[in-house]
A = this chain, B = another copy of it.
Amino acid sequence: MRARERHVRARRVTEREVLLGVDVGGTTTSVGVVTRAGEVLVAQRVPTHRDGTGRALETIVELIAAVRREAEGRSRAIAAIGVGVPGPVDTRRGRIGEDVPHVPELAGRALAAELTARFGLPVFVDNDVNAQALGEWMFGAGRGACSLVVLAPGTGFGAGIVLEGRPVRGAAGFGGELGHTPVKFDGPPCWCGGRGCLALYASGRGIAEAARARLAGLAGAPLLAAAGGDPLAITAPLVFRAAREGDPAASAVVDEACRALGAMLGTVVNGLNPDVVVITGGVAESLVPLEAQILKRAGEYAFHRALALTRVTIVPGDKRTSMRGAAALAIYEMDRTDPRP
């Protein structure tokens, strides 16, 4: 199988071929048929299994098989499968890390080898936002850029880095985890075990928790009323809406989110100096009206000359973006292993 794998991998993806882009999310898993140009032809999704019955992998396999049949019904040859997973991945072995709280049943599994054995196709696995960064670089906001950083605040805070056309994976697959950059070294503890992380201030979970903390003891606050009086019903979209309507506690939380994102942009612009920064993920939609405020904050931290040369763009993502990212991963890996010049 080693030989066969090598044989299959060592060539570029042609224009006629398609890729299967698999996005394994904490809630749903999606599989799409994606062209080399990044077009999603068909897609299906199912709930991600995480009930401890060990069926997580089987569910993914069944979905891939179904989408594969659909692609073949359209006479499109599949070149490879790309998979994005929420957590660290040993990309060389295609093995998922041990710390994957969103997909606990997949922890430590050699996903690439298992899927290759089932489908006889080259399979490439990476962190979902790393894959998305490749997708943005290949098809999206970073097309034509030399280097690009994706910041993806969702429930947690993912991130991905592509420098000079290559994803930054790091020695142990943690590369690109900028969501757990300490933006305040004497800040409060983070759920990751760290302290003062960006995710505390600017992820969906962090924003909701910060609002709850500020509202403790403020019985009549408009934000709390909007959540039906139940602090646990406060969500990040609710906080953004209350801030737009002038709620002081919500405004303070949103202002702090913008400052922390501005500081992160400073870190990225001064440290990596990319051409493009894409802010995406579930929280991005709420950030669109705050773009000017975030960029103003970035100006408090970044070298002005460097920031002026950086294109910062907020792009609310969706499942299609994730599937395209996974397909971009497969294209990137297929192309770079082609020995022909």
Contact = CB atoms under 8 A, between A and B. Distances in A.
A338 interface: no
Interface in A273-318: 273-275, 300-306, 309-310
Interface stretch (A26-34, A75-83, A163-171): A163-171
A183 B260 CA distance: 10
A268 to B, nearest CB: 9
A182 to B, nearest CB: 4
Given A173-B273, A176-B271, A272-B170, A263 B305 contact: no
A227 interface: no
A276 B164 CA distance: 21
Contacts of A185: 183-184, 259-260, 262-263, 301
B306 A182 contact: no
A172 interface: yes
Contacts of A220: none
A193 interface: yes
B172 A305 contact: yes
Interface of A is mostly: loop
Contacts of A176: 271
A132 interface: no
A269 interface: yes
A195 to B, nearest CB: 5
A228 to B, nearest CB: 32
Nearest to A187: B184
Nearest to A97: B305
A302 to B, nearest CB: 7
A311 to B, nearest CB: 10
Contacts of A263: 182, 185, 196
A163 B168 contact: yes
Interface string A224-262: 000000000000000000000000000000000001101
B147 A194 contact: no
A116 interface: no
A172 B259 contact: no
Contact of A170 (B174, B184, B274): B274
A171 B146 contact: yes
Which are the 5 A-B pairs with shortest beta-carbon distances?
A: A170-B273, A185-B263, A174-B273, A182-B263, A174-B306
Interface of A: 88, 97-99, 146-147, 159, 161, 163-164, 166, 168-178, 180-186, 192-197, 259-260, 262-263, 266-267, 269-275, 300-306, 309-310
